Homo-oligomer: A and B are copies of this chain.
Amino acid sequence: MIMKLRLLKFLMLMLGLAFFGVSGAMAQDVVEEVTEAVTEAVPFDAAYGAFMETQGSFFTISNLWLLISAALVFVMHLGFSTLEAGLCQSKNTVNILFKNVFIICMGVLTYAFWGFNAMYPGDAWSIGGVFAMGSWFDVDPTMELMSSEYADYTWYTDFIFQAMFAATAATIVSGAVAERVKLSSFMIFATLLVMFAYPVTGSWEWGGGWLNDFGVDGDKEFIDFAGSSLVHAFGGYAALACVLLLGARKGKYLDNGKVRPILGHSMPLATIGVFLLFLGWFGFNGGSVLSADPYMVSLVFVTTALAACAGGLGAMFTSWIVLKKPDLSMSLNGVLAGLVGITAGADTISPFWSIIVGLIAGIIVVISVLFFDKIKIDDPVGAISVHGICGNFGTIVVGICGGGFFMSQLIGTIAISAFAFIFSIIVFGILKVTIGVRVSEEEEMGGLDIGEHGQEAYPDFAPDTK
């Protein structure tokens, strides 16, 4: 009986909508009432139809944009693969590609089984604002529709977009530990990092945790639009921890104090990687608007592109001055530095300031790469500098020219970086003292491709032995 009454109410509301074409604030109320009535009384198909009828258009566009963004973020995994492969030696290429294929496969699946619900707990916190248990992401069909109550996209869209982000953290580590890490240990570490650690810091901010609560009613909340800290600094500091435990590649730092550069084997692969990362970033940042709002998405495209280009030029000319030669690898890292730098404030920093932010990030990354080499922290692809240091910078800068509060930004980026670092020190440390984290010296010399996979990347071509 009640159900029939509700259905009647619903039909009357629909009729009202149909005949009066109500819109704006009025429609909003009506829609809410409809949605409420609908969820309780009508089956999924009818509810879905009613929903599409009343507010489908913007929802459909936004949902589509988030899905396309997910595909663009997926492209970043290819970008990371070719960048990392290009900047390392040919004898470790199969190993690097294998790790990257593993990371995306493992990352999406663990995010389905644990990460997504751990990162977005709703009210289901285990420790309020700090930690939530994860679980299988999927829900019954009616729930997917209900995402419209809080978002302009479906539950499934939310999952796949965030899942593509999740694996990124481990990918960053992969680059820094390349050419000497033991495959099985890395696979265990990457799984634990993506499955358990990443959702924790993610929940602090995007899941509505404690970083949202600074100030009165969160008016001084920590801001990290698309993850300068939550994704990049997180990955960068996890990488730093692993590199400290792992040590440098053999022959990199000579006894006489000199640094012997170990050159990447394919600059085209590295360049392809950076272009694809730049491309993917339009989805990474653009999708983080979480709707297809024309003003916001276009602003984010502009700030992202300007920062990337300024970062590229910044690193290009800094390297030209410092190293006396215009350096391609540095320029490529400069583009990435600009992208990482703008990520936290891509929606609040103005186009002009985005150029400044990118330019500074591009300068920072060159100095940082040289600095880490000086203190003998061996990072083959510059991941710690690009993601860690520029991730910190990008987060803090929101407190200067992006509408955030400086102290909130500082606390947030330190907390996230510290958590990633400590988690990694502990987990990778345990792996080190148990099964070991480094390949044998012979395997390192002969290459991980033969050592771990029994497979060469370029069997038709003999490496240069000059």
Chain A interface (Cβ < 8 Å from any Cβ of B): 14, 17-24, 26-27, 48, 52-53, 56-61, 63-65, 67-68, 70-72, 74-75, 77-78, 81-82, 85, 89-91, 93-94, 97-98, 100-102, 104-109, 112, 136-138, 141, 144-145, 153-157, 159-160, 163, 183, 263-269, 271-272, 274-276, 278-279, 282, 286, 292-295, 297-299, 301-302, 305-306, 308-310, 312-313, 316, 325-329, 331-332, 335, 350-352, 355, 452-466
Residues of B contacting A352 with CB < 8 Å?
Answer: 136, 138
Min CB gap A74→B, angstroms: 6
For the A-B complex with A144-B295, A160-B298 known, give 8 more contacts whose Cβ atoms are closer than 8 Å: A19-B21, A63-B298, A81-B272, A97-B271, A98-B326, A108-B305, A460-B463, A462-B466
Partner of A453, one of B18, B299, B328: B328
Chain B's closest residue to A77 (CB) is B275
Contact between chains at A268 and B20 (CB < 8 Å):
no
Of listed A26, A145, A159, residue having the most chain B CB within 10 A: A159
Residues of B contacting A326 with CB < 8 Å?
Answer: 98, 183, 452-453
Min CB gap A71→B, angstroms: 5
In the assembled complex, the Cα of A457 lies from the Cα of B60 at a distance in Å of 46
Ordered by A's residue number, 11 sampled pairs between the chains whose C-beta atoms are within 8 Å are A23-B53, A67-B286, A67-B298, A71-B282, A74-B282, A81-B271, A81-B272, A101-B312, A144-B295, A268-B457, A327-B455
Interface of A is mostly: helix
Contact between chains at B60 and A294 (CB < 8 Å):
yes
Residues of B contacting A293 with CB < 8 Å?
Answer: 60
Min CB gap A45→B, angstroms: 10
In the assembled complex, the Cα of A397 lies from the Cα of B81 at a distance in Å of 33
Number of copies: 3
- Given A74-B278, A105-B310, A355-B109, check contact A63 B297 (CB 8 Å): yes
Chain B's closest residue to A455 (CB) is B328
Residues of B contacting A154 with CB < 8 Å?
Answer: 294-295, 298
Contact between chains at B20 and A24 (CB < 8 Å):
no
Min CB gap A390→B, angstroms: 16
Residues of B contacting A22 with CB < 8 Å?
Answer: 18-19
Contact between chains at B327 and A453 (CB < 8 Å):
yes
- Given A21-B21, A156-B299, check contact A266 B305 (CB 8 Å): no
Chain B's closest residue to A26 (CB) is B18
In the assembled complex, the Cα of A392 lies from the Cα of B109 at a distance in Å of 25
Contact between chains at B138 and A351 (CB < 8 Å):
yes
Residues of B contacting A160 with CB < 8 Å?
Answer: 298, 301-302, 305
Residues of B contacting A77 with CB < 8 Å?
Answer: 275
Contact between chains at B455 and A267 (CB < 8 Å):
yes
In the assembled complex, the Cα of A321 lies from the Cα of B436 at a distance in Å of 21
In the assembled complex, the Cα of A98 lies from the Cα of B267 at a distance in Å of 10
In the assembled complex, the Cα of A98 lies from the Cα of B328 at a distance in Å of 6
In the assembled complex, the Cα of A295 lies from the Cα of B313 at a distance in Å of 41
